Amino acid sequence: MNTRSLGFRLVAWYAGVLTAVFVLLGVLTIFFLQRYLEANFLDTQARRARQIAGTLISSTSRAEEGALPGEVEKLYSPEASDRFIRITRADGRVVYVSGLPKDERYDPAQVPPASAGEHTRKVRLPENSLLIAAITAAGADGTPYVVEVGASGAGTDATLARVLLMLATGLPIAVCVAVAGGFVLVRRSLAPVARMAATAEAITQHNLGERLPEVDSGDELERLAVSLNLMISRLEAAIDGSKQFVADASHELRTPLTVMRGELESLAQDGQLPGEAREALGSVLEEVLRLAEIVEGLFALSRLDAGEAHAPWQRFDLGELAATTAGQMSLLAEDKHVSVACESHPGVIVEGDRARLKQVIVNLLDNAIKYTPGGGHVSLSVKREGGCAILEVADDGIGIPAEALPHVFKRFYRVDGSRTRAQGGAGLGLSIVESICTAHAARVEVSSVPGNGSTFRMLAPLAGEPLVNA
Ligand X SMILES: Nc1ncnc2c1ncn2[C@@H]1O[C@H](COP(=O)(O)OP(=O)(O)OP(=O)(O)O)[C@@H](O)[C@H]1O
Residues that bind ligand X (CB under 6 A): 297, 363, 367-368, 371, 395, 397-400, 408, 413-415, 420, 425-431, 454
- What is the DSSP code string of 37-81? HHHHHHHHHHHHHHHHHHHTGGG--GGGGGGHHHHHHHHH-TTTT
Partner interacting with residue 137 (select from ligand X, Mg ion, none; CB below 5-8 Å by kind): none
Partner interacting with residue 108 (select from ligand X, Mg ion, none; CB below 5-8 Å by kind): none
Question: Interface with Mg ion by CB under 5 A: which range of 234-242, 313-321, 365-373, 385-393?
Answer: 365-373
Identity of the residue, 393 or 459, whose beta carbon is nearer to Mg ion in the bound complex = 393
Identity of the residue, 68 or 393, whose beta carbon is nearer to ligand X in the bound complex = 393
Partner interacting with residue 135 (select from ligand X, Mg ion, none; CB below 5-8 Å by kind): none
- The nearest distance, CB 337 to Mg ion, in angstroms, is 19
Q: Which residues contact 403 (CB under 8 A, 6 or more apart)?
A: none
- The nearest distance, CB 293 to Mg ion, in angstroms, is 10
Question: Which of 143, 156, 250, 367 is the binder for Mg ion (CB under 5 A)?
Answer: 367
- The nearest distance, CB 381 to ligand X, in angstroms, is 15
Identity of the residue, 114 or 362, whose beta carbon is nearer to ligand X in the bound complex = 362
Phi, then psi, of 317 in degrees rounded to 5: -85, 115
DSSP character at residue 237: H
- The nearest distance, CB 381 to Mg ion, in angstroms, is 20
Partner interacting with residue 95 (select from ligand X, Mg ion, none; CB below 5-8 Å by kind): none
DSSP character at residue 146: E
d(CA 315, CA 94): 122
Nearest CA to 348 among 469, 470, 466, 461?
461
Partner interacting with residue 120 (select from ligand X, Mg ion, none; CB below 5-8 Å by kind): none
Task: Kindly state whether residue 297 participates in binding Mg ion, applying the rule CB under 5 A.
Answer: no
Identity of the residue, 167 or 430, whose beta carbon is nearer to Mg ion in the bound complex = 430
- The nearest distance, CB 454 to Mg ion, in angstroms, is 12
d(CA 205, CA 391): 27
Which string of x and - marks every residue 417-436 that binds Mg ion (by CB under 5 A)?
------------x-------
Q: Which residues contact 168 (CB under 8 A, 6 or more apart)?
A: 26
- Crossing angle, helix 220-268 and helix 275-305, to 10 degrees? 150
Phi, then psi, of 145 in degrees rounded to 5: -130, 145
- The nearest distance, CB 412 to ligand X, in angstroms, is 8
* Secondary structure of residue 142 in the 3-state scheme: coil
- The nearest distance, CB 408 to ligand X, in angstroms, is 4
- What is the DSSP code string of 247-308? HHHHHHHHHHHHHHHHHHHHHHT-TTS-HHHHHHHHHHHHHHHHHHHHHHHHHHHHHHHTT-
- The nearest distance, CB 253 to ligand X, in angstroms, is 16
Residue 327, CA atoms < 13 Å, CB-side half-sphere: 7
- The nearest distance, CB 339 to Mg ion, in angstroms, is 19
Identity of the residue, 245 or 412, whose beta carbon is nearer to Mg ion in the bound complex = 412
d(CA 164, CA 156): 12
- The nearest distance, CB 186 to ligand X, in angstroms, is 50
- The nearest distance, CB 331 to ligand X, in angstroms, is 18
Identity of the residue, 107 or 445, whose beta carbon is nearer to Mg ion in the bound complex = 445
Identity of the residue, 46 or 426, whose beta carbon is nearer to ligand X in the bound complex = 426
* Secondary structure of residue 106 in the 3-state scheme: coil
d(CA 403, CA 386): 29
- CB-count exposure of residue 240 (10 Å: 0-12, 13-18, 19+): middle
Partner interacting with residue 371 (select from ligand X, Mg ion, none; CB below 5-8 Å by kind): ligand X
Distance, CA of 382 to chain centre: 45
Partner interacting with residue 397 (select from Mg ion, ligand X, none; CB below 5-8 Å by kind): ligand X
**Which amino acid appears at position 336 of this protein?**
K
Nearest CA to 297 among 388, 397, 433?
433
Identity of the residue, 139 or 427, whose beta carbon is nearer to ligand X in the bound complex = 427
Identity of the residue, 186 or 433, whose beta carbon is nearer to Mg ion in the bound complex = 433
Contact between 344 and 320 under an 8 Å Cβ cutoff? The reply is yes
d(CA 462, CA 460): 6
Identity of the residue, 225 or 342, whose beta carbon is nearer to ligand X in the bound complex = 342
Partner interacting with residue 297 (select from Mg ion, ligand X, none; CB below 5-8 Å by kind): ligand X
Partner interacting with residue 427 (select from ligand X, Mg ion, none; CB below 5-8 Å by kind): ligand X
Partner interacting with residue 437 (select from Mg ion, ligand X, none; CB below 5-8 Å by kind): none
Sign, CA dihedral 257-262-268-273, equals negative
Partner interacting with residue 192 (select from ligand X, Mg ion, none; CB below 5-8 Å by kind): none
Task: Kindly state whether residue 7 participates in binding Mg ion, applying the rule CB under 5 A.
Answer: no
Identity of the residue, 352 or 429, whose beta carbon is nearer to ligand X in the bound complex = 429
Applying CB under 5 A, the residues found at the interface with Mg ion are 367, 429
